[in-house]
Amino acid sequence: MSKILVTGAGGYIGSVATYLLLQKGYEVVALDNFITGYRAPLLALQAQFGKERLRFYEFDLNHSLQNFFQQESGIEAAVHYAAHCLVNESMENPDKYFRNNVGGTRNLIGALMANGVRKMVFSSTCAVYGEADYVPVDEKHPTRPANPYGESKLMVEAMLKWYGRQSGLNYLALRYFNVCGASDDGLIGDSKRPSVLLVQNAVRGALALEPFYLTCPEVETPDKTPIRDYVNVVDLNEAHIKALEYLLEGGKSETINLGTGEGNSVLEIVEAVNKVTGKTLSRETTTPRKGEYAKMIAEISKAKAVLNWEPKRSITDSINSLVKWYTANPQGWAK
């Protein structure tokens, strides 16, 4: 099978992606600076699949990649997850997001092109849209990011278009919505402490691993809490693998939404976690996050048409996988 570069492979989504790629028989070379990512999931996967199938390197994408590509020749495509991704933090420190998300990606693309790698799957975000004019949101919706995180991802999408036009880069930019869950077997999950992801925080609260607080502002929805499209992390990564295979088979560049096509409010998620766990979560509030908006739901017909992908897992499935993960790993991965 093909040799694939995965950036951000020690992070939540990237580590699940690495697991799925190895299960499908790919050879994976992985990069992570391990500031927010973890070595432990990669070591666990390396022990299971072997170093000939998975090798990983501690690396900052703002540094030269030439020695890496000399050591790891034969890479056919890249799946690029590495990024800072905290909306609230991006409002407080935008320079960090432009320097890392934009600058690091520019450096990565230049190195890929210099070494003959012209296929990239890019982990983008629905945050490029900003406040929705209509829902569900399709790929033609205006892009008006409401925070530097979304702006940094939109800037990368613009770079990808120009590299595609001028230098022959083929890419899929996958704008995904709110991610939840763990691998189906509970082996690989989210280690951020604290997490900024609602479903993860709610499950940790229900399992009494940490206090749970509502961090959302009051918005104009029926129950006054934001509505989001929550997509399972395995479903999401199965779409990334379909995107990778699409490019390896000669597919053209596209920008595609990944979600479920359905929305749940914050309070609906709280009730779903209560139902699965048999607990009753507190609804105590704390300082609301900045840069949030009322409603965001994906229109996913393009993903179905281009990638033959649609989500298989429900919110209940995601909650159950997180219960498995946090029960086995209450403090997540060790650094």
Tell me the per-residue pLDDT of 232-262, one tens digit each, with 9 for 90 and over: 999 999 999 999 999 999 999 999 999 999 9
pLDDT of residue 87: 85
**Is residue 70 over pLDDT 70?**
yes
What is this structure's pTM? 0.95
Lowest mean pLDDT among 113-117, 143-147, 193-197: 193-197
Taking the C-alpha atoms of residue 241 and residue 276, their distance in angstroms, rounded to an integer, is: 30
Taking the C-alpha atoms of residue 8 and residue 28, their distance in angstroms, rounded to an integer, is: 12
The residues spanned by each domain of the chain are 3-180+231-259
Taking the C-alpha atoms of residue 149 and residue 282, their distance in angstroms, rounded to an integer, is: 29
Tell me if residue 230 is catalytic. Answer: no
Mean pLDDT score across all residues of the chain: 95
pLDDT of residue 316: 98
pLDDT of residue 290: 67
pLDDT of residue 106: 97
pLDDT of residue 277: 97
pLDDT of residue 307: 98
Taking the C-alpha atoms of residue 189 and residue 200, their distance in angstroms, rounded to an integer, is: 10
pLDDT of residue 294: 85
Is 320 in contact with 276 (CB distance < 8 Å)? yes
pLDDT digits (tens, 9 = 90+) for 7-33: 999 999 999 999 999 999 999 999 999
pLDDT of residue 286: 85
Lowest mean pLDDT among 148-152, 210-214, 320-324: 210-214
pLDDT digits (tens, 9 = 90+) for 73-96: 999 999 999 999 988 899 999 999
Which one from 12, 26, 38, 149 is the annotated catalytic residue? 149
Complete DSSP assignment for 190-243: ---SS---HHHHHHHHHTTSS---B-PPP-SSTTSS-EE-EEEHHHHHHHHHHH
**Is residue 193 over pLDDT 80?**
no
Q: What top-level class would CATH report for the domain 3-180+231-259?
A: alpha beta
* For range 117-133, the mean pLDDT: 96
Angle (CA) 34 109 247, round 5°: 100
**Band of residue 291 on the pLDDT scale cut at 50, 70, 90:** low
**Is residue 194 over pLDDT 80?**
no
